[in-house]
Amino acid sequence: MADFTGDHTWLQIQQELSLRKLIEGSEYQEELKYDFNIKGELRHLDTNESFVFNYYKNAHEQNHKRYQVLGHLITQYVYGLLERVCTLQKVYIPTDATEDEPRSFFFMSENALTSSFSLIVLLQDRGVFRAGQWGQRTIVREGLGHGTQIPFIKTALQSHRGVIVLNPNDNFVDPKTEKERLSFSTREEALNSTQSIWWIPKRGSSTPEEHTIYVWDHFISKSAAKNVAFIAHGYGGLVFVDLLVQRKWEVMNKVYSVAFIDSTHNMQHQTRSDPQIQEWILKHCCEWVSNCKTPNKAFGSCMKVNCPTVSARVDKYDLAPSCCLRAIFKYLNSTLKAKTSRHSPVATRSSTSKRGNK
């Protein structure tokens, strides 16, 4: 978990960019009188208490809509942190979009495509949260250090790695309410914005799988990095395996390691029992699983076929990513060191085909 209290950049940015400033001037100033403190915890500005869901008595729907507004605010706030604290660049896709066409985007570090050392790709779970977040509820309850990907990004950057933060859940846009939903200019517009059914899919990003393949085809596969690693949480693990199946030889030759966290992928169903893919996953992947009683103990491949599994050292799914940070980077560092010390490329299609026929 990140310690935001000792980060001078964080303290400086916090004075310029705050959750509170995003809501100032709107009719939600009292209902959402919250901001993040110097520890990255969401606290009420007057009482210093954690977020209270039941603001309105006996009005679940109204409380839920208030929570949705907070979620949209947090999304915009985290986007700002990715650019200001992590100095990442926002990249819009599809690259050939027309001026009026709905677009998605992702984030990457300045040297992500040009550095020949290594590249880390972050792939989150499925949900309402967007790029830079492991989980929105985790941000609200546990703070930015647990719920955002910022600690992973900073750790990667400190190791001189390039970083790509995917945005797999940004799939649709409602042209009638997008502006209002992002600005929260009035109470009625913000509360009603989630009710529209006229959603338009974003080309190249209509699903998490499509988004990931698009970024792979147009950016990751073309990057100078010869050593790419993925960190995939929950449904993100399923999305990565889909990418592996769809771009088999490219992925097997460019990706040196994958850290799954409570992945929902299904080897038998997704890989169609492809022995080459299963062998590759056995050698290049490891999964951290929550709800394991014994910390730091290897569980072999009992929980996922051909995927070594270890404990996440926590029994809460939402906290697994932050609790695994050090262990995951230790694993990625060791696998990268092992690969570079061998000075040999990953097996080519012809060589693997021959081996598979033996």
Domain spans of the chain, in order of start? 4-356
Is residue 41 within 8 Å of residue 112, measured between CB atoms? no
Question: Residue 41: CB partners within 8 Å, gap ≥ 6?
Answer: 50, 143, 144
* Residue 26: per-residue pLDDT: 67
Predicted confidence at residue 188, as pLDDT, reads 41
| Across 141-169, average pLDDT | 96
Q: Are 215 and 228 in contact (CB under 8 A)?
A: no
CATH number of 4-356: 3.40.50
Q: Give the model's pLDDT for residue 300.
A: 47
Q: Mind listing the pLDDT tens digit for each residue in 81-101?
A: 999 999 999 999 999 999 989
* 22-51 pLDDT tens trace: 888 667 788 899 999 989 999 999 999 999
d(CA 276, CA 280): 6
Is the pLDDT confidence value at 307 over 90? no
* Digit-coded pLDDT (tens) for 314-345: 999 999 999 999 999 999 999 999 988 875 55
Q: CA 288 from chain center: how many Å?
A: 16
| Residue whose structure tokens are 């100033």 | 29
Task: Give the β-pairing of 285-289 and 255-261.
Answer: parallel
Question: Which DSSP string do the residues of 162-183 spell out, in sequence order?
Answer: EEEE--TT--EE-TTTHHHHHH
Q: What is the DSSP string of 231-277?
A: EEETHHHHHHHHHHHHTHHHHHHHEEEEEEES----HHHHHTT-HHH
Q: How confident is the model at residue 166 (pLDDT cuts 50, 70, 90)?
A: very high
Query: Tens of pLDDT along 198-235?
Result: 688 999 999 999 999 999 999 999 999 999 999 999 99
pLDDT at res. 15: 63
Residue 136 makes CB contacts below 8 A (sequence gap 6+) with 71, 74, 75, 127, 128, 129, 147
* Tokens standing for residue 211: 């988004």
Could you tell me the pLDDT band of residue 195, with boundaries at 50, 70 and 90? Answer: very low
pTM, full prediction: 0.86
Cα–Cα distance between 147 and 131 in angstroms, integer? Answer: 12
CB 33 within 8 A of CB 354: no
Higher pLDDT, 43 or 271: 43
- Determine the average pLDDT of the residues in 157-161: 92
